[in-house]
Amino acid sequence: MKIDVEKHEMEALEGALETVRRDRPVIIMEDQVHARDLLEPLGYRCRRIALVDFLCLPA
């Protein structure tokens, strides 16, 4: 799942939480500390893959 919504990543991610919990997709998004804080308790590990992009993988 690629999230690229120019400063609205948190809103997009919150809207997709049911899908994230159910399907555990790989997620690519811009650097959003709060989004990573939301994903890591769900078992995701996020790492920087570009200047502002992060790859979040389910554990």
pLDDT exceeds cutoff 80 at 18? yes
DSSP bridge pairs for 48: 54
Domain ranges of the chain: 2-58
User: What does the DSSP 8-state code read for residue 5?
Assistant: -
Q: Over the stretch 21-56, which tens digit does the pLDDT of each residue have?
A: 999 999 999 877 788 889 999 999 999 999 889 999
pLDDT at residue 24, as a whole number: 98
Reported as a pLDDT band with limits 50, 70 and 90, residue 6 is: confident
Query: What's residue 27's pLDDT?
Result: 96
